[in-house]
Amino acid sequence: MLVDNAVEGDSRVQKAARSAADAGWDVTLLGCARAAEEKTWRLGDAEVRVLPMGNHAPAAGLRGRLVSRGGLPLRAARLARRPVEHAQVAFWRSVRGDRSWRKLEPGLWGYERLFGPVIDELQPDLIHAHDFRMLGVAARAKQRSTRPVRLVWDAHEWLPGAKPRRDNVRWLPAHLAYVNEYVGQADAVVTVSDTLAELLQRDHDLPERPGVLLNAPLADTEAGAPDLRERCGVDQDTPLLVYSGALAVQRGLDTVVDALPRLPGVHLALVVGDLTAPYLLQLLARAERRGVADRVHAVPYVPYRQLVEFLGGADVGLIPLHHWPNHEIALITKFFEYSHARLPIVVSDVKTMARTVRETGQGEVFKAKDEADLVRAIQAVLADPKRYRAAYEGPDSPLKEWTWEAQARHLDALYRRLLGTDTPAETR
């Protein structure tokens, strides 16, 4: 398995690796990080190797000074370069088509140089490539191999609807070209939702509809999680909202902080991977300006097998996303984690999750970016939490299908089909 991050904090990747190993497959999960040395550990019977990308020096010269200074000079420089970037995209796409990423985003070769020799040494029978950057790395390894190799591409998001990771015009067309060049090498494609499966089949003219592996949590979780309320310093009678996961402007946390002055006595827990992240510090400063800093608590991640129990200490799970194409098409990881923690969910009116919450009755929907409507939704849930928690009980509960164990069985069946074995891995 390949992933373009440091593995820790990526629950889908960790669960996939561990469950495959539990089923009897010999699994090596390769990640990467800006570090000087390789880091290794085990997830159950799966071996994890995080390869060192090295520490990149800060930009030098005029560009370095602009980046470090920020503000108006940096914004002006970025605007000034836009016509050049548009021209670059138009030229290289016309000249090289799907191979244009080599000129528009040559940094992608860094992943090839890092992962390629390790994959060749491992001589895998199957490569499971997580997300878009690893697709090309896996495809080229498959092409180089002197023995048969099967390739599974796990598309975590719809790339045309993704927010560019960098502020330049080249980023998205370069990565779209990269995926287009290599998607035909995949023997199977899996993804996170039915809607995304349909989009992928349409965009890439795939011969079969991608399989769906929901970002569901483990039903068999690990006991002994820390106490969320204890980490926040609040008692059992204090209303506690929780947001768990990556932080970014488009995830809507500004609206939550702005709503807190109108929710007296209500506290907010932000469960995040990096307590020094710039955007988190901006949120905490925003809370200070709003006079609610004493009610906003940043707490670190816990191991993914403990997360459901950890989140269960809250009263409400928040998903305040802005409207963005990828936010509309899937039930995201935290949706399932909140559900298994039996938390009522307050979600913005992004299409798929809003529809699901309305159908199940497990929470309230509010208009994205609308502070007053968010206050209404939170107050409704806090006034009658049992009404919303009831959706998780009884014969109609969706939780039995929303487990990683159910998804892992589909993944194991896919591996067996691709490798031509009809018996479970553990019996071989």
- The DSSP output letter for 426 is G
- The DSSP output letter for 276 is T
Question: Using alpha carbons only, what angle is made at residue 409 by residues 142 and 179, rounded to the nearest 5 degrees?
Answer: 35
Output 57 or 177, whichever has higher pLDDT: 177
Which phi and psi (to 5°) does residue 181 adopt? -65, -35
Residues with Cβ within 8 Å of residue 148, at least 6 apart in sequence: 125
Digit-coded pLDDT (tens) for 48-63:
999 999 754 344 455 5
pLDDT, average across residues 251-269: 98
- Tell me what pLDDT residue 370 has: 97
In this predicted structure, the answer to whether residue 70 has a pLDDT above a threshold of 70 is no
Which phi and psi (to 5°) does residue 285 adopt? -65, -35
Digit-coded pLDDT (tens) for 180-223:
999 999 999 999 999 999 999 999 999 999 999 999 988 877 78
Residue 289 pLDDT grade (very low, low, confident, very high; cuts 50, 70, 90): very high
Distances (CA, A) of 266 to 146, 316, 375, 379: 61, 11, 11, 10
What is the rounded CA–CA span in Å between residue 208 and residue 162? 23
- DSSP, collapsed to helix, strand or coil, labels residue 4 as coil
Digit-coded pLDDT (tens) for 364-423:
999 999 999 999 999 999 999 999 999 999 888 999 889 999 999 999 999 999 999 865
In this predicted structure, the answer to whether residue 67 has a pLDDT above a threshold of 50 is no
- Tell me what pLDDT residue 304 has: 83
In this predicted structure, the answer to whether residue 116 has a pLDDT above a threshold of 80 is yes
What is the rounded CA–CA span in Å between residue 230 and residue 414? 43
- What is the 3-class SS of 196-218, one letter each residue? HHHHHHHHHCCCCCCEECCCCCC
pTM tops 0.75: yes
What torsion do the CA atoms of 70, 73, 77, 79 make, to the nearest 10 degrees?
90
In this predicted structure, the answer to whether residue 427 has a pLDDT above a threshold of 80 is no
Could you identify the residue written with the tokens 């191999």? 145
> How does the average pLDDT of the chain come out, rounded?
91
SS3 of the chain: helix, strand, coil, percent, to 5: 50, 15, 35
Which phi and psi (to 5°) does residue 93 adopt? -70, -35
What torsion do the CA atoms of 67, 72, 78, 82 make, to the nearest 10 degrees?
180
Residues with Cβ within 8 Å of residue 48, at least 6 apart in sequence: 7, 17, 29, 31, 40, 41, 42
Distances (CA, A) of 26 to 120, 148, 165, 413: 16, 17, 33, 15
**How would you classify residue 53: left for phi > 0, otherwise alpha for psi between -120 and 50, otherwise beta?**
alpha
Contact predicate 52/36, CB 8 Å: yes
Digit-coded pLDDT (tens) for 125-174:
999 999 999 999 999 999 999 999 999 999 999 999 887 777 789 999 99
What is the rounded CA–CA span in Å between residue 261 and residue 150? 55
